[in-house]
């Protein structure tokens, strides 16, 4: 049953791609008027030399949804991949140091990033965009290394429409050359700017002290924003009272299942587990833990850790509560291609919004949290440092005080 469903998903992805090729091929040329969500993409290959450019589509309608992950939770894997493949990636080599780089394209992309809605722009490619579909046939490793976008070509010129309507909040941060990046990110987030928008602004070097501004590869900027925001939120959580009972939150999408347990404790502790299941039923579990805002090592699961951390920490701040946190993420083999750490952030956000099941013991909370998953409770517990001490009725901090 499982392999049949996997083959159906593969078939649907290929069918969508073939249909997209037919639709796009009729409209593609070296010079086009196209729509941008608006969005940009910065590659990480050959860093500190990087490739920058806009993401555009030949579709004439509003393309905002094509690069708006805050709206993607609950949609199918086929649809998400279709959004990505519908976007054409313009590329142009540059260096990351903006201060020594008088690049007009960078300025144009910065202006595009500030646009508040889907925007028609004129692009001039060096040659017709092409795509190597081999990437779709490979098994992804992590969501930090998600699939890129569709067709791509070097871009010679990019023209924006006159009178472009921009987000005044981002524009103000852009022109504040003395505002530190962390302060700018936090301020904009508190003013309601979405994380996906913040990552683009950071990526194209729009925020921070002028002399320190750099071009940042897209996947790095996404994790940087999650890490910055969750770190700032955790500072607030330390001042709140603990939750009174054990709380469990669940959500499933894209063949990923999440269970989040809030444990009564004043000390911030965040432990995340990822269980990847292959077609034969074998399970590989990775675990990372942080206590009192201190990570002993950079998380093995990379950006997934910070995407989950920001989703839980913003919920706790909204409810003015502190807790110890355990996150279980189970990934089924039908999750054929990693689509990005956004799906972890948005999946956990959805779980927290649904509200909790409340329990008076850790054991009951664990039984319920694991009941929605195929990985057994015993397997999850065997990889948890946090549970060893909570189950022995010791404060989370007690153990870590002795290991400093």
Q: Which two tokens stand for residue 184?
A: 């700018």
pLDDT at 132 over 60: no
> Whole-prediction pTM value?
0.91
- End-to-end C-alpha distance for the chain, whole angstroms: 49
Half-sphere exposure of 396 (CA within 13 A, CB side): 25
pLDDT digits (tens, 9 = 90+) for 41-61: 998 888 899 999 999 998 877
pLDDT digits (tens, 9 = 90+) for 189-205: 999 999 999 999 999 99
pLDDT digits (tens, 9 = 90+) for 278-296: 989 999 999 999 987 778 8
Q: Which two tokens stand for residue 293?
A: 């805002």
- Domain positions in the chain are 2-167, 236-402
pLDDT for res 134: 45
Q: Which two tokens stand for residue 75?
A: 């949609």
Sheet of 246-253: strand order equals 283-291, 269-277, 324-331, 256-263, 246-253, 357-359
């Amino acid at each position: 049953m499982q392999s049949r469903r996997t083959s159906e998903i593969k078939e649907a992805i290929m069918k969508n791609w073939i249909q997209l090729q037919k639709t796009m091929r009729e409209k593609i040329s070296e010079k086009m008027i196209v729509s941008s969500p608006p969005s940009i993409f910065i590659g990480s290959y050959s860093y500190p030399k990087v490739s920058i450019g806009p993401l555009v589509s030949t579709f004439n309608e509003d393309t905002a949804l094509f690069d708006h992950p805050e709206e993607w939770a609950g949609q199918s894997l086929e649809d998400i991949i279709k959004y990505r493949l519908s976007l054409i990636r313009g590329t142009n080599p540059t260096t990351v140091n903006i201060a020594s780089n008088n690049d007009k394209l960078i300025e144009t992309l910065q202006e595009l990033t500030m646009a508040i809605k889907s925007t028609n722009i004129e692009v001039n490619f060096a040659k017709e965009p092409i795509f190597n579909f081999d990437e779709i046939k490979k098994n992804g490793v992590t969501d930090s290394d998600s699939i890129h976008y569709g067709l791509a070509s070097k871009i010679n010129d990019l023209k924006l429409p006159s009178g472009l309507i921009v987000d005044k909040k981002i524009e103000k941060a852009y022109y504040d050359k003395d505002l530190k990046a962390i302060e700018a990110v936090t301020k904009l987030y508190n003013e309601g700017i979405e994380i996906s928008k913040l990552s683009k602004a950071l990526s194209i070097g729009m925020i921070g002290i002028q002399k320190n501004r750099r071009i940042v590869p897209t996947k790095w900027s996404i994790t940087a924003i999650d890490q910055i925001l969750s770190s700032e939120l955790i500072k607030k959580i330390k001042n709140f009272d603990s939750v009174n009972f054990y709380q469990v939150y669940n959500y499933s999408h894209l063949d990923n299942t999440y269970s989040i347990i809030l444990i009564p404790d004043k000390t911030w502790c965040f432990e995340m587990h990822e269980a990847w299941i292959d077609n034969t039923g074998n399970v590989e579990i990775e675990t990372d833990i942080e206590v009192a805002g201190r990570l002993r090592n950079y998380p093995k699961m990379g950006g997934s850790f910070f995407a989950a951390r920001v989703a839980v920490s913003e919920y706790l701040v909204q409810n003015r509560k502190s807790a110890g946190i355990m996150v279980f993420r189970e990934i089924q083999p039908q999750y054929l291609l990693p689509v990005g750490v956004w799906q972890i952030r948005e999946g956990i956000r959805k779980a927290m919004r649904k509200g909790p099941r409340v329990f008076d013991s850790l054991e009951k909370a664990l039984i319920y949290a694991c009941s929605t998953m195929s990985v057994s409770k015993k397997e999850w517990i065997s990889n948890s440092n946090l549970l060893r001490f909570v189950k022995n009725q010791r404060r989370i901090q007690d153990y870590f005080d002795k290991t400093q």
